[in-house]
């Protein structure tokens, strides 16, 4: 009697089925990801991506007072 209800107690064929199904799912996700990439606009309009660059200012040192004594 085969006990394939637990992954630890499953036989070799069950493990092989799990590996095959997971590989097929990974290929499906990869195929969808490759075909759904962002491409140029088919109408010819400019679809260039632009980013806003924020440059950091001067660094600050935070303190409560200038004359603090540390003991």
Which parts of the chain sit beneath pLDDT 70?
A: 1-2, 37-49, 63-71
Task: Give 14: exposed, middle or buried? Use CB within 10 Å, 0-12, 13-18, 19+.
Answer: middle
% residues pLDDT > 70 (the chain)? 63
Cα diameter, the chain: 82
């Amino acid at each position: 009697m085969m006990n394939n209800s637990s992954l630890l107690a499953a036989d070799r064929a069950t493990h092989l089925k799990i590996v095959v199904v997971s590989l097929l799912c990974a290929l499906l996700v990869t195929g969808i990801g490759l075909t759904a990439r962002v491409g140029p606009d088919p109408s010819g309009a400019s679809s260039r991506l632009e980013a806003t660059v924020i440059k950091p200012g001067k660094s600050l040192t935070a303190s409560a007072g200038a004359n603090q004594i540390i003991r």
